[in-house]
Amino acid sequence: GAGVSQSPSNKVTEKGKDVELRCDPISGHTALYWYRQSLGQGLEFLIYFQGNSAPDKSGLPSDRFSAERTGGSVSTLTIQRTQQEDSAVYLCASSADPGAEAFFGQGTRLTVV
Amino acid sequence: AQSVAQPEDQVNVAEGNPLTVKCTYSVSGNPYLFWYVQYPNRGLQFLLKYITGDNLVKGSYGFEAEFNKSQTSFHLKKPSALVSDSALYFCAVRVRKTGNNRKLIWGLGTSLAVNP
């Protein structure tokens, strides 16, 4: 596709339910990032995939969070047993190489009620 | 530890005046440097980057930034601010090395308000 695509754009879920967020990066981009952003705040790093290397999971806030990237392309961020504090906009970005800029998707707004 | 600092949470300028949004970094080696903008209720958009060469880089919407190696800074500037420039601005740095340790490191953002 022309850009980074994230789905769904909005998700409302009940506390305790599991959710899956999807990211389709730009074709050929080797780097993929997941971030979380609360309203008007900065970017909270979650996880980083780079090519075939083991992902950098250092930003995942708890073991309820996990992510995978299949075939070096599509990525899924899974949040198990959602809590109200998980409510935020989840952003995905991809980039082609270290010197290239990252392109962001429009994000998934997650609301846990 | 590698880090990016945006020392001002908020910058206020009058329309038509020059603006500066500050960014300093601490990384090993020579970095790649980026500025992004986020308009209200919008995604992040790339503004400009420094890779190598001329220390002054020009980007979208009339913005420019100057790489200063001795001061480890990459301040964003615009000669004449517009009300439509009001947004959240993020500075980011990426290290030049192979392997998995090449993730982008982000500042916390600076909210720019341009007053008419």
pLDDT exceeds 90 at position B10: yes
Q: Which residue has the higher pLDDT, A89 or B30?
A: A89
Q: Is there a contact between A33 and B104 if contact means CB atoms under 8 Å apart? A: yes
Q: Which of A9-18, A54-63, A88-97, B40-49 has the highest mean pLDDT?
A: A9-18
Is A49 at the interface with chain B, CB within 8 A? no
Is A109 at the interface with chain B, CB within 8 A? no
User: For A40-95, what is each residue's pLDDT tens digit?
Assistant: 788 899 999 988 888 999 999 999 999 999 887 999 999 999 999 999 999 999 99
Q: What's at B5, amino acid-wise?
A: A
What is the pLDDT of chain A when averaged over all its residues? 92
Among the listed residues B91, B104, B112, the one whose alpha carbon sits nearest the alpha carbon of residue B39 = B112
Low-confidence winner among A107-111, B103-107, B112-116 (lowest mean pLDDT): B103-107
The C-alpha angle A89, A46, B103, rounded to 5 degrees, equals: 120
Is B29 at the interface with chain A, CB within 8 A? no
Report the SS3 class of residue B5.
strand
B4 neighbourhood in chain A, CB within 8 Å: none
Question: pLDDT band at B92, cuts 50/70/90?
Answer: very high
Q: Are A48 and A75 in contact (CB under 8 A)?
A: no
Q: Is there a contact between A107 and B99 if contact means CB atoms under 8 Å apart? A: no
Distance CA B73, CA B64 (A): 13
Report the SS3 class of residue B62.
helix
- Which pLDDT belongs to residue A42? 86
- Which pLDDT belongs to residue B23? 98
Residue pointed to by tokens 């609360």: A38
pLDDT exceeds 90 at position A15: yes
